Amino acid sequence: MIKPLLVVGMLLTMFADHASAAGSDWSGGSRSDADMDDAVVAIESGRYEDAIPALRRVLAREPRSADAYNYLGYSHRKLGQLEDALRHYIQALGIDPEHRGANEYLGELYLEMGDLAKAEERLAVLDEACFFGCAEHRDLKAAIEAHKASQ
């Protein structure tokens, strides 16, 4: 017999695990923002340069969109523009310190920059933010373990 608490925990884990492209809380449609939708499609297609202008339009209307800053950071990181990525991830976390996507990707950026300690700090934040676990925590943890194994 399955215990009710275990079932509740499993259900919460399933909901906590929901994440869309680039580790954002953006689910599309519900906010009805064509620019954000276009940016997400561009990112999912690997067209990071196309996502940037759409994300800038989102931020012109919603300057406190942690999701837009996260996607902007992700796009710049994928284009190899690490300083721009860093700035945008920090802006996202300034708005929402527990933003799962921004914490994961900032941690991955720190690994790319060779700063394991800062990547582990982001993992600790995700450990707190993802009480029942989440994909962002698992992904960053795996990236950290791979980084350590390669040293």
8, part of any domain: no
Q: Is the pLDDT of residue 75 over 80?
A: yes
**The length of the chain, given as a count of residues:** 151
Model confidence over 25-49: pLDDT tens digits? 544 443 459 999 999 999 999 999 9
Tally of domains in the chain: 1
pLDDT at 32: 59
The CATH number covering residue 67 comes to: 1.25.40.10
pLDDT at 105: 98
Distance of CA 19 to CAs 52, 81, 99, 118, Å?
20, 24, 11, 23
142, part of any domain: yes
Range of the domain at 94: 22-150
pLDDT at 2: 43
pLDDT at 23: 54
| Structure confidence at residue 59 as a pLDDT band (50, 70, 90) | very high
Task: Give the integer Cα–Cα distance in Å for 10 and 97.
Answer: 26
pLDDT at 7: 37
CB 88 within 8 A of CB 76: yes
Model confidence over 118-149: pLDDT tens digits? 999 999 999 999 988 999 999 999 999 999 99
Read off the pLDDT of each residue in 87-115 and give the average, rounded to a whole number.
98
pTM metric for this prediction: 0.80
